[in-house]
Structure 1
Amino acid sequence: MSSEQELEAYERFAVEEHVHDIITQLCKLPAARDEFGLGDGIQFSNHTNSLNENGTPEADASQPSSIHHPRPDQFCIHRVDDTTTTLLTSVEYKPPHKLSVATLRMGLRPMDLWKDMVRSNKIPTNQEAKLRYNAERLVCSALVQEYHVMIQEGLEYSYVTNGIARVLLRVPHDDPGTLYYFLCDPNGDVDMEMEATLENTSVARTLSLCLMAFRSPVRGQEWRNSVRPDIPIWKTSFDHTRSHIPEDEFRQLPLNSDSTAPEFPSPDSSSTYEPSSSPPDPPESTARQVSTRSRVSCAPSDVRHRSQSSQSPDPDSNSATRRKRTFSQVPSSPSAQRVARQRETIDDRGPDSQSRHRDAQFCTQRCLLGLQTGDLLDDCCPNRMLHRQSNDNPQHPITSDDLVRSLKAQLDENIDRCTPLGGCGAYGAPFKLTCLTYGYTVIGKGTTSALWKEVSREAEVYRILQKAQGSAVPVFLGTIDLAKIYFLHGAGEIRHMLVMGWGGKARHRWI
């Protein structure tokens, strides 16, 4: 496998199609479908953030990628529900000639990445130490790249693979500054003569991670915005790191190895790491800090691995005898998962949940035109009773400027108070916005900062077409500059919106 494209093809044929087929069969079992929330199965696909792509020139691979526009080989796994898909997890491909199994084994270790890697000025001169130093930088830059995606997309689980081994990753909800890793190498973990080891194959590992991801809701935008300021930034990329390793030193990195050879030992998964108590000063060089740490706890408490004693020591204690470890602890029952999902919704979105926004009907163009011009309410508007506020006044209770200010205040308080409608054009993506006080429901055309100069010109066009608003073109109400980032999967970082009336087909037909 000499390229990302060949690795992608291999993974699809050797791993992903099998995982897809197994989950398809699980979907036919009502108990399994309900237990994991499988929907209609999964879909593997490549992915780009189209608005970011349109807004930035093509990056030089030899230069560090911007924190706002990373250039990972981002491939995604989506949950399928009828005709819609939602993000389940993401994958980072690194071909083995760039990131070998031996390099992974040599470079993975528990560390404070910011202290030990980014801020460290120590470059070893000893040949063996320099070899390990280069391996650590390559491995860390690969994991940082995927960790950045996990924070942006609100993911708990992900993985990096070179087609031979894979590194399973986890970002805890309450400790996002720590990245847990677990190295899976089937060449060393699987003995074809021992059926019990088949659970360590690439197909089994990827399937397990997908099932865990099904039971872990994507985190809300509020969570993402709250954790970003506390995570220092390391501006780097895998190719940038590779380009700074002299060719003669890179050739010394082992490309092939016996996975069980003593010179390439497994990463020490029994060590512990405590993040530093205070973040460092904002750095000049800037993807996100990753405090790497191997996940030690085993399966759920009621489904411990057969080889593990009930008298096992503390999960984070060093123990040479505890060699059989799994990646993460999965909640033990569907009821526990439902509670976790409800807690996630309450924590991230508050009482005005996403479902209320989805259920709201759009105001009519006549209603919004009356709001804009100070005219009467439209008796045909589905939200007219909410506008009236239980009184008989036929006038709109607020102005269009008041509505835009109210919507901005809602989003500045909780950015999850909007609903993406799916799809993304060349310059923007549609959102449903609902005023919580007066029930006005409109469209927000969201876009990135890079495209805002272009998109904001539409406001002037609508003003020129003032007399045509409400008939030939939608009613335009104003613009919003968001105080927080809405990272929209498949689009990018939404920072601005045009607010207008819904001008398409009826929502139920549009879906």
Structure 2
Amino acid sequence: QLEQEKQQREQADAAREQTQSQLEQEKQQRELAEAQLEKTTLYEYLFYCHLYLTKPMQVGSADKSTQGTTTKVTGRCYPGKILPWEDFLKSQEDQFNRLRHIFGEERLFTPRSHIESLGEKVCRKELRSEDDLKIHQHSAIQIPVEDIFSVRSQHLDWEDLNIGNGLVFENHENALKNSSKEVEGASQSLFKSLPKDQLCSFIYRGGVHRLAFIIEYKAPHKISVEQFREALCKPNLCQDVVNLGIISNDATLKAQEKANKIAAMILTQIFHYMVEKRLPYSYISTGEAFVFLQIKEDEEKTVYYHVIAREDASLPDVPDSSDIHARRPSIFNTPVNQVACFCLTALQSERFSHGWQVKAKHVLPTWPDRLEDTGRDDSSVIDDGGK
């Protein structure tokens, strides 16, 4: 009898423990589901955007990707000097601190579950062309950045950001032409307008779109982050490519020389547009590399650069947000944050005068008509979207 009662007590205890365990498990599942639907803080938003939108990005192999047509840079002005943007990270850090100060721990941004769902769609396909890259960057970078600037915080410093009603990314200039009364005048006489597929960013203020900067996209299989960085380390890159072309017979050196030419042509294209639109800031994106550019008003022949790689944000694959604040350096390096901070800098700048542009036109060198006529290897031509 005693043994039977003991067994019954043990069975009852086991049943209670099992019930308690089930209740705790159900509670954890409810909390997880609620957390998935809960709005995110700035840190969490940047963390999940990288985890689900940029980190899983897949790059197609070169042999299965578009070859496209030559990017035409003939007659376009190129920088005489390419120098490191020494205070870039300091500027980015200052802007990041402003965003952190304004948003704090407020839950204002898209829930994690929505970001994860978007990532499953955005990163499903390998990137094999500029068009693929633009589609990915629209969802993975532009929409998150627009969301950051569309959120309205109650913080008094929000108005000091000088962003009006937010910013918007456009793939044409119609918004600018239709809403702004600014007359380009000299700009139109000196340069042709931007190609329709050249992506631009505008600030929206009082019903007027103001051009803030330009983005140049190039498919990541065309030039690696390492090749881009090595090419840009050459202060006279563009001039050297124009003068020397590709001369090495060594396979490794020849590959870098081709990469140098690709980098020089990409840089020439966006630099020309920056001068055309009188812009101090713009950037290049391959999805893998983000090359941020600056022209200073009194140094029109020089472009300053800083390269941020997608891999610089060393965040874990496991979606654990418990130690997000401990990962601040990596969150700072995420592409969404870097572009958002860069936007703040660009939006607070003023475009150069028409007089500046006229001067630049007269002093800047231009890409020669036909490099191939000199007998140099032109096999490194870069893709223009395969159109």
Q: TM-score normalised to the size of structure 1?
A: 0.41
Cα distance in 2, alignment partners of residues 69 and 123 from structure 1: 35
2:269 to 138, 145, 161: 145
User: What secondary structure is seen at the aligned counterpart in 1 of 2:151?
Assistant: helix
Contact 1:107/1:139 (<8 A) preserved = yes
Contact 1:107/1:138 (<8 A) preserved = no
2:352 to 208, 219, 227: 219
**Residue 135 of structure 2 corresponds to residue 9 of structure 1:** yes
**Residue 269 of structure 2 corresponds to residue 135 of structure 1:** no
Cα distance in 1, alignment partners of residues 174 and 210 from structure 2: 15
Task: After superposition, give the CA deviation of every residue in 1:272-297 in whole Å (9 maximum; x if it has no partner).
Answer: xxxxxxxxxxxxxxxxxxxxxxxxxx
| CA apart distance, 1:121 | 5.6
Query: Which amino acid is 2:261 matched to?
Result: R
Cα distance in 1, alignment partners of residues 174 and 300 from structure 2: 23
User: What secondary structure is seen at the aligned counterpart in 2 of 1:96?
Assistant: coil
2:170 to 40, 45, 66: 45
Cα distance in 1, alignment partners of residues 341 and 380 from structure 2: 39
Indicate the percent of aligned positions where both proteins have the same amino acid. Answer: 26
Query: Which amino acid is 2:170 matched to?
Result: S
Instruction: Go from structure 1 to structure 2 and tell me whether the alpha carbon gap of 1:190 and 1:72 turns closer, same or farther (over 3 Å shift).
Output: farther
Cα RMSD of the aligned pairs, angstroms, is 2.9
Task: After superposition, give the CA deviation of every residue in 1:193-241 in whole Å (9 maximum; x if it has no partner).
Answer: 733221111001101110001111111212111221011111579xxxx
| CA apart distance, 1:71 | 4.7
Question: What pairs with 1:87-102 in structure 2 (closer than 5 Å)?
Answer: 87-102=211-226
Q: Bigger relative contact order, structure 1 or 2, given CA contacts below 8 A and separation 6+?
A: 2
1:210 to 343, 358, 381: 343
Question: What pairs with 1:479-494 in structure 2 (closer than 5 Å)?
Answer: none
Instruction: Go from structure 1 to structure 2 and tell me whether the alpha carbon gap of 1:38 and 1:92 turns closer, same or farther (over 3 Å shift).
Output: same
Alignment correspondent of 1:174: 298
1:244 to 378, 381, 386: 378
Identify unmatched segments of 5+ residues in structure 1: 51-65, 238-242, 251-511
Question: What pairs with 1:99-498 in structure 2 (closer than 5 Å)?
Answer: 99-120=223-244, 123-192=247-316, 194-235=327-368, 244-245=378-379
Cα distance in 2, alignment partners of residues 246 and 113 from structure 1: 15
Query: Which amino acid is 1:223 matched to?
Result: W
Cα distance in 1, alignment partners of residues 340 and 131 from structure 2: 22
Higher helix share: 2
Instruction: Go from structure 1 to structure 2 and tell me whether the alpha carbon gap of 1:235 and 1:201 turns closer, same or farther (over 3 Å shift).
Output: farther
Instruction: Go from structure 1 to structure 2 and tell me whether the alpha carbon gap of 1:236 and 1:92 turns closer, same or farther (over 3 Å shift).
Output: farther
User: What secondary structure is seen at the aligned counterpart in 2 of 1:234?
Assistant: coil
Query: Which amino acid is 1:124 matched to?
Result: S
User: What secondary structure is seen at the aligned counterpart in 1 of 2:132?
Assistant: helix
Aligned pair count reads 227
Task: After superposition, give the CA deviation of every residue in 1:129-181 in whole Å (9 maximum; x if it has no partner).
Answer: 11111111001111111011111111111100012221111111110111111
Cα distance in 2, alignment partners of residues 40 and 105 from structure 1: 36
Contact 1:106/1:135 (<8 A) preserved = no
Cα distance in 1, alignment partners of residues 346 and 340 from structure 2: 10
Cα distance in 1, alignment partners of residues 204 and 153 from structure 2: 11
Cα distance in 2, alignment partners of residues 195 and 81 from structure 1: 32
| CA apart distance, 1:3 | 2.1
Instruction: Go from structure 1 to structure 2 and tell me whether the alpha carbon gap of 1:102 and 1:225 turns closer, same or farther (over 3 Å shift).
Output: same
2:204 to 69, 76, 80: 80
Alignment correspondent of 2:158: 32
Instruction: Go from structure 1 to structure 2 and tell me whether the alpha carbon gap of 1:196 and 1:121 turns closer, same or farther (over 3 Å shift).
Output: closer
| CA apart distance, 1:37 | 1.0
Task: After superposition, give the CA deviation of every residue in 1:248-277 in whole Å (9 maximum; x if it has no partner).
Answer: xx9xxxxxxxxxxxxxxxxxxxxxxxxxxx
User: What secondary structure is seen at the aligned counterpart in 2 of 1:176?
Assistant: strand
1:19 to 145, 158, 165: 145
Instruction: Go from structure 1 to structure 2 and tell me whether the alpha carbon gap of 1:188 and 1:139 turns closer, same or farther (over 3 Å shift).
Output: same
Query: Which amino acid is 2:129 matched to?
Result: S
User: What secondary structure is seen at the aligned counterpart in 1 of 2:227?
Assistant: helix
Contact 2:312/2:330 (<8 A) preserved = no
User: What secondary structure is seen at the aligned counterpart in 1 of 2:149?
Assistant: helix
Identify unmatched segments of 5+ residues in structure 2: 1-126, 176-189, 317-325, 371-376, 383-387
